[in-house]
Amino acid sequence: MRCILGLLIVFSLIDFSSAHDSWLSRNGYRNNAGEWCCGESDCGVFVYGHIGENRFGYEVDATFRVGEGNGAMDFVVKELVPYSEAIPSPDGRFWRCKRPDGSRRCFFHPLPTM
């Protein structure tokens, strides 16, 4: 009984706020170069700005946020993401994973609605 109680306490202390790291890591997403999309604290959802489409890909002029709460950091991005480098997003939102130098490692897009 004490063992079960101990496990319940441990599970209650686990921080589940980085859910995006879970689905990114769990599904083993990689970019066209074979790099893992998700590393430590480098992926975030776009929070404001504009993401449009043209015949070449996604035109991004927006800000994505990595982390939550007081530790969150915003990154402004202005780039064209070719369709061939975009990965469907399982949660229906736009995400971007960055390398330590800030360049794009992966870009996730919502599936088209019917």
Sequence spans of domains, the chain = 17-109
Bigger pLDDT: 27 vs 82: 82
12-16, 24-28, 57-61: range with lowest mean pLDDT: 12-16
Given a cut of 60, is residue 12 above it in pLDDT? no
Q: Is the pTM of this model over 0.85?
A: no
Q: Give the whole-number percent of the chain exceeding pLDDT 70.
A: 78
What's the whole-number mean pLDDT along residues 18-24? Answer: 56
Listed ranges 28-32, 43-47, 78-82; the one with the highest mean pLDDT: 78-82
**Cα 17 to chain center, whole Å?**
13
Q: Residue 14: exposed, middle, or buried by beta-carbon count in 10 A (0-12, 13-18, 19+)?
A: exposed
Q: Give the whole-number percent of the chain exceeding pLDDT 90.
A: 57
> Which residues are within 8 A (CB) of 78 and not within 5 positions of it... i.e. 6 or more apart?
60, 61
